[in-house]
Structure 1
Amino acid sequence: MRLKFSPALEQLLDLILAELPDDQALYIVGGAIRDILLGRPLHDLDFVMPDDPTNLAKKIAHKRQVGFFVLDDERHTARVLFRQRGNQIFPLDFVQFTGEDLHSDLMHRDFTINAISVSVRETGKLIDPLGGIKDLAAGLLRTCSDHSLTDDPVRVLRGIRLAMQFDFSYAPGLDALMTEASQYLPHTSPERQRDELFKILEGSDPAEGMAHCRQFGVIKSLIPPLMEQEDIPASPPHTLRLIDHSLKVLEYLKQLIETPKDLSTWWLLDFRSLFGRFSEHISDYLEEEITPGRSKKGLLMFAALLHDIGKPETFTVGEDGYLHFYNHAQIGADLAWNAAKALQLSNAESEWIRTVVQNHMHLLPFANRAKEPSRVDVYRFYQETGEAGAAVALLSLADTLATYHQSLTLDKWQNALMVSEVMLAAWWEAHQTVVSPTLLLDGNDLQDEFGMAPGKEIGEILEKLREAQAAGEVTTRELAAAFIQTQIKGIE
């Protein structure tokens, strides 16, 4: 394998060399070398050198008039922020060696495929003391040492993410090392846990990634209540053990929100034919961020993973022998909130996840009765869920698929599609009329035209008016006035 630098990267390295003193060494390390060898686009660059790189980074930033700041005074780590075309940030991180020399620095890294280096002065000569190039060619993930993971247990999550991202296999013995190290995850930074976990959830195969997290003990360490699902058997109409059901929901959800190459599955064809017009809306919606750096896709995957987290706590067996989970959605919503906050998600993100989990059963009664939701049903659904309602509608479909799995029938699926289609159509095609209609009369009108005194009664009547408008029962200002008059008489 040989490095092939883009013209833009060559230009960037020339700029850095111009500021680098002749007697100083500087090396590119980490994922950038790996990605160049794999022909993948770069998103950042990491540099290491024997001395404190802060002054060098500052000179480069000053020369190009770009952003600069110190990441870690103690570890002598600085960052320079370049901008690419399209105004995207391209960070350069400069770090002093971890250890006495470059070899020691590479030995302290996580995986051999990330421990390949090159001097900025000799870019044609790869430095690979740990065999990372060979592992890269073989598609193997191997640690730099037997203690790489226990030195930093968050690397277990990174290893799972890399295996999913590149479709790599684990080197012999790595599974045991990952299982051992995962028990120390609770002693690491929750922010770092969160960031790696969400890269898995937003990645190419979140279901498989979370299956690996289950296998290596990551879920047990980070979300203990979720692992209690291991003890819950399948309960009709569910055909899978509870923990397997939760992971299967992720698998189906990914197929629903992304366009797979194989559209031969009958249920997916039905979904595409009915929901195709929402494809762009769904994609844009899931790319939105409540907090910068995490998409709603990742939040939805996290909520999907946790949607039945309340079942172990509410598990009972009735006299009829059937399993029951009364109030599991509400209990689960609180547990999901706790899990989100433990990972340092923002309050807004945690509330969004809580809303999705709490309402994941909301649409089921309509589908079970083959009943199309009315405009009032739609309005009340979105009053309960807000903009998280679109996520609930998508999760509801994945939950249906995972519940019945191979026993899914055409009528069950079509009923579920019908309900979610009504909800999504209202959100994206009838928002101003059904989801959140503009009031025909407001609080000032109620005071000026009907002589009402300020107070909670005005808000209550206006909410009833908005629901009547959403239902299509009140469509003009005159009808709104008559509706208000009737409501006032009812409280006199």
Structure 2
Amino acid sequence: MEIEKIIIESLKRKDTHKTFIELDKKDELEKIIPKVKCMKSVGECKYHVVNCFEHSINALRELEIVLNDKYFFPIHLKEHVLNYLDEYVEDGINKLHALKLGIFLHDIGKPDSMTLDETGRVHFTNHEKIGAQIVDNMGIKLELSTETYKLISKYVRHHMILLSLYKKNDLSRKELINVFNLMGEDTIGIILLGYADIVSTIKLLDKSEEVSVLKTYMEYILTNYLYKSNYTHV
């Protein structure tokens, strides 16, 4: 089977991250996603103890842990989340498959955005915007539709939203309306990506106690998005 098809088929498995690890060991993953090589050389900073590639694999694993846990989502959210993920973007590819690829690619812009300040501290300013552009320009040799690539690009572009809300500790009506208007119908996917991204990081920083707090944030945001009519996006 061609590598491209293996990657697409792996997105449909419950343990996609394992296939990606095996493809990388065979030096085949970067043949399809050339930026993988660069992702291995950057990423470690104040907040990350591993490089971008390892972090992306960890984030993908975290999403799969969440989705394989039938008790993770409260009852009032579970059906909505699963319905969103089951929605097809193109023949054979649903939003879950696109989200998995989006999670793996969410930091693909870091190699091109890395800078050092006068103290030697590493920064990755606007890496989400640069990453979205990379996906838009498609340096990935997969035969997916334009619509699918646009969705993946959207995931990458907005993956920092949950972290931003968490850091500001601002879940006010005004803030949430702005966020929902921006993310629109893909609020669920983007918030899930943000959760997997942050949790995979804080677990390595030995801050596991923050996971439950972050989960509460995520559930609150999704509940407001799904159930409060005065928060409905336009």
TM-score (norm 1): 0.45
**Residue-by-residue CA offset, 1:351-385 (whole Å, 9 max, x unaligned):** 1111110000112122123x142222222212222
In structure 1, distance between residues paired with 2:139 and 2:147: 10
Letter of the structure 2 residue corresponding to residue 358 of structure 1: R
Instruction: Give 1:242 shift.
Output: 1.8
Contact kept, 8 Å, 1:303 with 1:336, in 2: the verdict is no
Q: Does residue 227 of structure 1 match 2:34?
A: no
Is there any run of 5+ residues in structure 1 with no aligned partner, and where?
1-152, 158-192, 264-271, 438-492
**Residue-by-residue CA offset, 1:216-256 (whole Å, 9 max, x unaligned):** 12221011013211111521221222210010001001111
1:307 equivalent among 98, 101, 106 = 106
In structure 2, distance between residues paired with 1:318 and 1:305: 27
| Alignment: residue pair count | 234
**Residue-by-residue CA offset, 1:299-325 (whole Å, 9 max, x unaligned):** 000000000000001112222222111
- Helix, strand or coil for the counterpart of 2:138? helix
2:131 equivalent among 319, 324, 332 = 332
Specify the alignment match of 1:124 in structure 2. none
Letter of the structure 2 residue corresponding to residue 403 of structure 1: T
- Helix, strand or coil for the counterpart of 1:344? coil
In structure 2, distance between residues paired with 1:397 and 1:408: 16
In structure 2, distance between residues paired with 1:347 and 1:323: 34
Q: Does residue 212 of structure 1 match 2:22?
A: yes
Specify the alignment match of 1:393 in structure 2. 191
Contact kept, 8 Å, 2:14 with 2:68, in 1: the verdict is no
Letter of the structure 2 residue corresponding to residue 377 of structure 1: E
**Residue-by-residue CA offset, 1:38-93 (whole Å, 9 max, x unaligned):** xxxxxxxxxxxxxxxxxxxxxxxxxxxxxxxxxxxxxxxxxxxxxxxxxxxxxxxx
Specify the alignment match of 1:435 in structure 2. 232
Q: Which has more helix, going by share of residues?
A: 2
In structure 1, distance between residues paired with 2:217 and 2:18: 29
Q: Does residue 364 of structure 1 match 2:133?
A: no
Letter of the structure 1 residue corresponding to residue 183 of structure 2: T
Q: Which moved more, 1:382-391 or 1:200-209?
A: 382-391
In structure 2, distance between residues paired with 1:340 and 1:281: 33
Q: Counterparts of 1:60-139 in structure 2 under 5 Å? A: none
In structure 1, distance between residues paired with 2:137 and 2:146: 11
Instruction: Give 1:196 shift.
Output: 3.1
The CA RMSD measured in Å over matched residues stands at 2.1
**Residue-by-residue CA offset, 1:291-345 (whole Å, 9 max, x unaligned):** 1211111100000000000000111222222211111000000112233874232
Specify the alignment match of 1:122 in structure 2. none
Specify the alignment match of 2:118 in structure 1. 319
2:48 equivalent among 238, 246, 254 = 238
Specify the alignment match of 1:200 in structure 2. 10
**Residue-by-residue CA offset, 1:2-58 (whole Å, 9 max, x unaligned):** xxxxxxxxxxxxxxxxxxxxxxxxxxxxxxxxxxxxxxxxxxxxxxxxxxxxxxxxx
In structure 2, distance between residues paired with 1:278 and 1:253: 16
Instruction: Give 1:433 shift.
Output: 2.5
Q: Does residue 296 of structure 1 match 2:87?
A: no
Q: Counterparts of 1:48-67 in structure 2 under 5 Å? A: none
Distance 1:276 1:251, change over 3 A: farther
In structure 1, distance between residues paired with 2:36 and 2:208: 31
In structure 2, distance between residues paired with 1:374 and 1:231: 39
Contact kept, 8 Å, 1:390 with 1:423, in 2: the verdict is no
Same amino acid, percent of matched pairs:
24
Distance 1:316 1:275, change over 3 A: farther
Contact kept, 8 Å, 2:33 with 2:139, in 1: the verdict is no
1:378 equivalent among 142, 159, 176 = 176
Specify the alignment match of 1:283 in structure 2. 82
Letter of the structure 2 residue corresponding to residue 300 of structure 1: L
Contact kept, 8 Å, 1:219 with 1:226, in 2: the verdict is yes
Q: Which has more strand, going by share of residues?
A: 1
- Helix, strand or coil for the counterpart of 1:290? strand
In structure 1, distance between residues paired with 2:154 and 2:18: 25
Is there any run of 5+ residues in structure 2 with no aligned partner, and where?
none
In structure 2, distance between residues paired with 1:351 and 1:246: 20
